[in-house]
Amino acid sequence: MLSHTLRSRGEAALADRLALSAATTEGSQLATADFHGWLAERGRANAFRVDRIPFAELQGWSFEESTGNLVHRSGRFFTVEGLHVTERDGPYGDGPYADWYQPIIKQPEVGILGILVKEFDGVPHFLMQAKMEPGNPNLLQLSPTVQATRSNYTKAHQGADVKYIEHFVGPGRGRVVADALQSEHGSWFFRKSNRNMIVEAVGDVPLLDDFCWLTLGQIGELLHQDNVVNMDSRTVLSCLPLPATASGALLTDIELLSWITGERARHDVHAERVPLAGLPGWRQDEMTVEHEEGRYFNVVGVAVQAGNREVTSWTQPLFEPVGTGVTAFLTQEFDGVPHVLVHARVEGGFLDTVELGPTVQYTPGNYAHLAEKDRPPFLDSVLDASPDRVRYGAVHSEEGGRFRNAESRYLIIDAAEHDAPLDPPPGYTWVTPGQLTWLVRHGHYLNVQVRTLLACLNALPARAR
Amino acid sequence: MLSHTLRSRGEAALADRLALSAATTEGSQLATADFHGWLAERGRANAFRVDRIPFAELQGWSFEESTGNLVHRSGRFFTVEGLHVTERDGPYGDGPYADWYQPIIKQPEVGILGILVKEFDGVPHFLMQAKMEPGNPNLLQLSPTVQATRSNYTKAHQGADVKYIEHFVGPGRGRVVADALQSEHGSWFFRKSNRNMIVEAVGDVPLLDDFCWLTLGQIGELLHQDNVVNMDSRTVLSCLPLPATASGALLTDIELLSWITGERARHDVHAERVPLAGLPGWRQDEMTVEHEEGRYFNVVGVAVQAGNREVTSWTQPLFEPVGTGVTAFLTQEFDGVPHVLVHARVEGGFLDTVELGPTVQYTPGNYAHLAEKDRPPFLDSVLDASPDRVRYGAVHSEEGGRFRNAESRYLIIDAAEHDAPLDPPPGYTWVTPGQLTWLVRHGHYLNVQVRTLLACLNALPARAR
């Protein structure tokens, strides 16, 4: 027997410290009232401009001759290809189609999205970055400490080093609070995942330009505002191992895992990469790849000029959705314990067929042409909810490095009596926020939209005070 | 607020009942001493014969003209295709090659492997089946209650109904004890997973021919014997939520998840399906597809005649490894708590790049031609272990429905002092059996060989008494 100090497998003390940070609505570093002044100042310090350009003006990007795929000459970054998705015996109430073609982004490398944590005055603070991204409607938003593709930190961009990366990888890294490979948008990315990390710093951390320390309570307040906290921040924040507020639930944890397993097993989905050239239902001109009926999204090109990116100017393709999405949880208390209604969603780019999505996750315009019976379940309940039922509402945008003006209204809505069946329709089930926090320790359970909503659920107390 | 009785999310009482079954070495239904007589009797009742045949005599199977892939004319069951695996910047100590071609089985549908549980005299018993499979060296082994491909239970075999399936799917199913999609052999299957289920029956369960009720203690005794408990049983048994025997570990659970995430992120593996025809390094004649150096495995055809299969005679391809494998955990106590050394393995067919494998999982003959420095880590330590260090040893075979004479010696070996570095080489880490049980609730963490070893670890007390 070797002698070595074992440690307790669990981390109860950590959960309590995170809860303290969530309850602290004024940080000791940057006052919440001063935040927007600071952010605007960072915007002025970093001139930034984005223009739509024809595909022919993309530098280093071209449509590959044999496939029509949009590729970079280095073979790195990402490609835009075609995808053919078929669901045998489907669909099962999660969309009107069981067979479709679409463009998709293929970017197999795993990036790091990381937030650094450090205590000030006994309260954990989170190091956030004011970061410009070309697809953001307002360009500048609050990002994680580190937001780096593998190309970034292995220098394929030929740009500057990634700041603070040494806290997340390598021998000197800090104490890990959370670390999981989480999926990105399954409707736009082919099997893309990023490493979501939260790390507590060891020793002093210098504060660089464009960065600020905030408590979870402060970030919770900002999450109530439109287009401030970017998607990468939201998904990382959702991974926080906050303490569960209730020990009971409608489903035991075993039953919940079994329900997810059953949903994965009953969906027989095949996603096959196909050439972008001649993709059925899609057309292309010198400015745009678009759906023939004008639905879903366009592929476009942009030119970017910026001061604080790793390289100072570049061109790139972006996906641009055709409308604002609606992404919502219906919520309901059972025996006093809040539950949310999750949906086992099939998205063509998921690694493992199905992940848990929100109750509603749709761009309504894409469904407007459908008959009543083919419209997504619960969509009308959410769209018609009276204001007194809206417990949370804010517009957030998706990753501005790949998606342009990809805004959704994120909502948490008290379910009306007729929306809240104890035994919901196939593909839907009630879970507690604590069960979502339990699942998000592992990858490929919660899709990126549910992770945003989980971060918003955790932020509800910040406004309730 | 709706009124509904919430339940505790955890299942502590269940774990205690399973521990009672594990401690019960004599069942109330079939005495352990009578087991082999019963099994032999079932063998006599079900005549069964397997013959090697040329590919041309396979009925319904042929090499597809355009690709050379081995396919069934119905388009169902499975196909044998080619796979090209490349690891950028690899390999990382888990094999000498970073680029290889191999045949692989593609069978995208999800099957069910399920064991039914029922209490007799207050002790949970498990319903096991005497089942013939053409690839088993001894043909007849002990299988789960239900072992059904989707084709099986949707009748593509045009055979009999799957017995007891109603306890696992549909409205009348029992209480779920475990339910997860687990990977199958990543070196032989392309992204195959099966639903591993344990379900406690509600109400009476008639005992049919070929089935018997055993306690976990009885099954533990049988797991110490060669080629009795089949792979499907072993993987399902590994999913049992047995109580953890220690609360401490070298790594906290968060650190363990972070380590796994890091291993997944650092391996940049691409697996591309390619035609079987002309696969580099492989050759084919009328009887066999084989590696040019005679390594790894052969693809062969067999004709089967049986009485108790869903259909009474058939032909099919099987994979036949060229030698007996060695699959082993090194184990070591730290501060009195047993740990095993796991290896983050890349296998070409894994869905998510890396799963945890045993310390050693190799067919030694495949590595005999390599220089000392290229031989797999810890292999020689295991092969050279003195008998007093062997805490467990038995020969088990892999799934007999796809693999022929695929035997491995499964070993649990006390590590020698020099084998047990507190800080093991990259790609290896120490975990407790309790942490493995915690991980196996979720799919794609533990490969099928580790799951067999976990079932064996749980069976150690059955012989210790």
Residue of B130, B69, B88, B63 lying closest to B308 (CA atoms): B130
The residues near A417 (Cβ < 8 Å, ≥ 6 apart) are: none
Q: For residue B1, is it within any domain?
A: no
Q: Residue A446 in 3-state DSSP? A: strand
Per CB-CB distance under 8 Å, the chain A contacts of B261 are 179-181, 195, 443
Pairing, β A268-274 against β A79-88: antiparallel
Q: What is the pLDDT of residues A82-132, one digit of tens each?
A: 999 998 766 554 556 789 999 999 998 899 999 999 999 999 999 999 999
Section B289-312 average pLDDT: 85
Q: Measured between alpha carbons, how far is B157 from B20 in angstroms, rounded to an integer? A: 39
Q: For residue B6, is it within any domain?
A: no
Q: Measured between alpha carbons, how far is B211 from B147 in angstroms, rounded to an integer? A: 13
Give the confidence band of A423 by pLDDT, cuts at 50, 70, 90.
Answer: confident
Q: For residue A4, is it within any domain?
A: no
Nearest-by-Cβ selection for B4 from A1, A11, A334: A334
Per CB-CB distance under 8 Å, the chain B contacts of A3 are 334-335
The residues near A167 (Cβ < 8 Å, ≥ 6 apart) are: A114, A116, A145, A146, A173, A174, A199, A201, A205
Q: Measured between alpha carbons, how far is B155 from A380 in angstroms, rounded to an integer? A: 40
Q: For residue B4, is it within any domain?
A: no
B7–A contact, CB cutoff 8 A: yes
The pLDDT of residue A245 is 85
Q: For residue B40, is it within any domain?
A: yes
User: Is the Cβ pair A253, B179 closer than 8 Å?
Assistant: no
User: Is the Cβ pair B270, A108 closer than 8 Å?
Assistant: yes
Q: Residue B120 in 3-state DSSP? A: strand
Looking at chain A, the number of H-run helices and the number of E-run strands are 9, 26
Whether the CB-CB separation of B329 and B432 falls below 8 Å is answered with no
Residue B158 in this model has a pLDDT that exceeds 60: no
Per CB-CB distance under 8 Å, the chain A contacts of B270 are 108
Give the confidence band of B368 by pLDDT, cuts at 50, 70, 90.
Answer: confident
A208-217, B40-49, B88-97: the lowest-pLDDT one: B88-97
Question: In A, residues 386-445, which contact B (CB 8 Å cutoff)?
Answer: 420, 422, 434-435, 441-444
3-state SS, B306-344, equals ECCCCCCEEEEEEEEECCCEEEEEEEEEECCEEEEEEEE
Question: In A, residues 163-192, which contact B (CB 8 Å cutoff)?
Answer: 176-181
Q: Is the dihedral of CA A65, A67, A71, A74 positive or negative?
A: negative
CA distance B42 to chain A (A): 32
Nearest-by-Cβ selection for A4 from B9, B177, B335: B335
The token pair at B378 is 């810890």
User: Is the Cβ pair B6, A181 closer than 8 Å?
Assistant: no
Per CB-CB distance under 8 Å, the chain B contacts of A150 are 268
Q: Is A345 annotated as a binding residue?
A: yes
Please count the residues of chain A: 465
Question: In B, residues 88-147, which contact A (CB 8 Å cutoff)?
Answer: 108-110, 112
Q: Measured between alpha carbons, how far is A277 from A404 in angstroms, rounded to an integer? A: 23
Q: What is the pLDDT of residues B211-263, one digit of tens each?
A: 999 999 999 999 999 999 999 999 999 999 999 888 899 999 999 999 999 99
Whether the CB-CB separation of B364 and B381 falls below 8 Å is answered with no
Largest CA distance in chain B: 70
Nearest-by-Cβ selection for B334 from A2, A241, A251: A2
The pLDDT of residue A76 is 83
Q: What is the pLDDT of residues A239-250, one digit of tens each?
A: 999 998 888 999
The token pair at B344 is 């983050």
User: Is the Cβ pair B442, A176 closer than 8 Å?
Assistant: no
Residue of B345, B328, B278 lying closest to B95 (CA atoms): B345
Q: How far is CA B330 from CA A428, B226, B242, B416, in A?
A: 44, 20, 22, 9
Per CB-CB distance under 8 Å, the chain A contacts of B335 are 1-6
Whether the CB-CB separation of B220 and B22 falls below 8 Å is answered with yes
User: Is the Cβ pair A8, B177 closer than 8 Å?
Assistant: no
DSSP state of A116: E
The pLDDT of residue B31 is 96
Beta bridge partners of B300: B318
A272–B contact, CB cutoff 8 A: no
Residue of chain B with shortest Cα separation from A175: B255
Nearest-by-Cβ selection for B179 from A1, A4, A257: A257
B240–A contact, CB cutoff 8 A: no
Q: Is A218 annotated as a binding residue?
A: no
Q: Is A215 annotated as a binding residue?
A: no
Q: Specify the higher pLDDT residue, A149 or B27.
A: B27
Q: Measured between alpha carbons, how far is A464 from A426 in angstroms, rounded to an integer? A: 34
Displacement of CA B380 from its chain's centroid (Å) = 24
Whether the CB-CB separation of A20 and A247 falls below 8 Å is answered with no
Residue of B61, B81, B64 lying closest to B73 (CA atoms): B61
Q: Which amino acid is at B247?
A: S
A195–B contact, CB cutoff 8 A: yes
Residue of A260, A345, A264, A348 lying closest to B109 (CA atoms): A264
Nearest-by-Cβ selection for A257 from B265, B332, B441: B441
For the entire predicted model, the pTM comes to: 0.95
The pLDDT of residue B46 is 83
User: Is the Cβ pair B195, A248 closer than 8 Å?
Assistant: no
User: Is the Cβ pair B1, A334 closer than 8 Å?
Assistant: yes
Q: What is the pLDDT of residues A150-192, one digit of tens each?
A: 766 655 444 458 999 999 998 889 999 999 999 999 999 999 9
Give the confidence band of B309 by pLDDT, cuts at 50, 70, 90.
Answer: low
Displacement of CA B31 from its chain's centroid (Å) = 27
Residue of B183, B212, B198, B179 lying closest to B34 (CA atoms): B212
Residue of A339, A337, A389 lying closest to A359 (CA atoms): A339
User: Is the Cβ pair A4, B250 closer than 8 Å?
Assistant: yes
Section A61-78 average pLDDT: 95
Give the confidence band of A282 by pLDDT, cuts at 50, 70, 90.
Answer: very high
Q: Is A153 annotated as a binding residue?
A: yes
Per CB-CB distance under 8 Å, the chain A contacts of B177 are 254
Section B82-88 average pLDDT: 92
Q: How far is CA A464 from CA A173, A221, A338, A391, A460, in A?
A: 36, 10, 15, 10, 6
Section B54-82 average pLDDT: 96
Q: For residue B72, is it within any domain?
A: yes
As for the ipTM of the complex, it is 0.95
Whether the CB-CB separation of B340 and B436 falls below 8 Å is answered with yes
Question: In B, residues 333-352, which contact A (CB 8 Å cutoff)?
Answer: 333-337, 351-352
Whether the CB-CB separation of A148 and A163 falls below 8 Å is answered with no
Section B194-217 average pLDDT: 96
Beta bridge partners of A127: A116, A213
Q: Measured between alpha carbons, how far is B37 from B20 in angstroms, rounded to an integer? A: 26
Q: Is B313 annotated as a binding residue?
A: no
User: Is the Cβ pair B179, A261 closer than 8 Å?
Assistant: yes
Q: Is A101 annotated as a binding residue?
A: no
B200–A contact, CB cutoff 8 A: no
Q: What is the pLDDT of residues A8-36, one digit of tens each?
A: 888 889 999 999 999 999 999 999 999 99
Q: Is B305 annotated as a binding residue?
A: no
Q: Residue B195 in 3-state DSSP? A: strand
Section A251-272 average pLDDT: 94
CA distance A38 to chain B (A): 34
Pairing, β B325-334 against β B407-414: parallel
Q: What is the pLDDT of residues B3-39, one digit of tens each?
A: 567 888 888 899 999 999 999 999 999 999 999 999 9
A29 is in which domain, residue-wise? 12-465
b/e sequence A20-37, b meaning 16+ C-beta within 10 Å: bbbebbebeebebeebee
Question: In B, residues 206-235, which contact A (CB 8 Å cutoff)?
Answer: none
Nearest-by-Cβ selection for B253 from A9, A257, A262: A9
- Report how many domains make up chain B: 1
DSSP string, B248-265: EESS-HHHHHHHHHHHHH
Displacement of CA A266 from its chain's centroid (Å) = 26
Q: Is B152 annotated as a binding residue?
A: yes
Residue of B179, B170, B1, B4 lying closest to A423 (CA atoms): B4
H helices of A119-204, where? 150-153
DSSP H or E stretch at residue A194: strand A193-200
B248–A contact, CB cutoff 8 A: yes
Give the confidence band of A418 by pLDDT, cuts at 50, 70, 90.
Answer: confident
User: Is the Cβ pair A6, B352 closer than 8 Å?
Assistant: no
Looking at chain B, the number of H-run helices and the number of E-run strands are 9, 26
CA distance A298 to chain B (A): 28
The token pair at A48 is 């930034």
Q: For residue B263, is it within any domain?
A: yes
Disruptive mutation site among A4, A9, A88, A239 for chain B (greatest number of B CBs within 10 Å): A9
Residue of chain B with shortest Cα separation from A261: B180
Q: Which amino acid is at A204?
A: D
Residue of A294, A309, A7 lying closest to A139 (CA atoms): A309
Residue of A374, A380, A447, A378 lying closest to A93 (CA atoms): A374
Whether the CB-CB separation of A212 and A450 falls below 8 Å is answered with no
Q: Residue B91: is the preceding peptide bond cis (ω within 30°)?
A: yes
Q: For residue A133, is it within any domain?
A: yes
Q: Measured between alpha carbons, how far is B179 from B171 in angstroms, rounded to an integer? A: 16
The token pair at B126 is 């498990």
Q: Which amino acid is at A345?
A: R
Q: Is B458 annotated as a binding residue?
A: no
Q: How far is CA A181 from CA A239, A311, A460, B195, B238, in A?
A: 10, 27, 26, 22, 25
